[in-house]
Amino acid sequence: VNGLQARTFGVWTLLSSVIRCLCAIDIRNRTLYYITLFTFFLALVHFLSEVFIYHTAALTIGVMAPLMVASFSILGMLIGLQYLEVEALSQKKK
């Protein structure tokens, strides 16, 4: 890894964090919710590809931790999405 790659990954991590914090502040914003969900999918695909396609990372705790965070976050957000849909429908009825 060179300095450019490290800084690019750092900026990506910072951008993802900002998006996720904004979603936490305004959880009912559907567009922001989908963008946040997409960031977790990207993280999951990135780490899985590094382990299983490019073989540049081993399944150590340092790689498994982001995989678990991304997986559980995707699962939680998909469950939360159902409640977001129900809430939107109930507001339309009013």
Digit-by-digit pLDDT tens for the chain (94 residues) are: 799 999 999 999 999 999 999 999 999 999 999 999 999 999 999 999 999 999 999 999 999 999 999 999 999 999 999 998 887 778 777 6
* Model pTM score: 0.87
Token digits of residue 7: 């800084």
Every domain of the chain and the residues it spans:
3-93
The set of long-range contacts for 61-67, using a CB threshold of 8 Å and a minimum separation of 24, is none
Cα torsion through 20, 68, 65, 40, rounded to 10: -30
pLDDT score, position 21: 98
Whole-angstrom CA distances from 25 to 2, 28, 41, 85, 93 are 35, 9, 20, 18, 25
Whether the Cβ atoms of residue 77 and residue 37 lie closer than 8 Å to each other: yes
User: What's the confidence (pLDDT) of residue 12?
Assistant: 94
| Structural contact between residues 16 and 39, judged by C-beta atoms closer than 8 angstroms | yes
The predicted structure's pLDDT at residue 4: 94
43-48 long-range contacts, CB within 8 A, separation 24+: 43/16, 43/69, 43/70, 44/70, 44/71, 44/74
pLDDT for the residue 93: 77
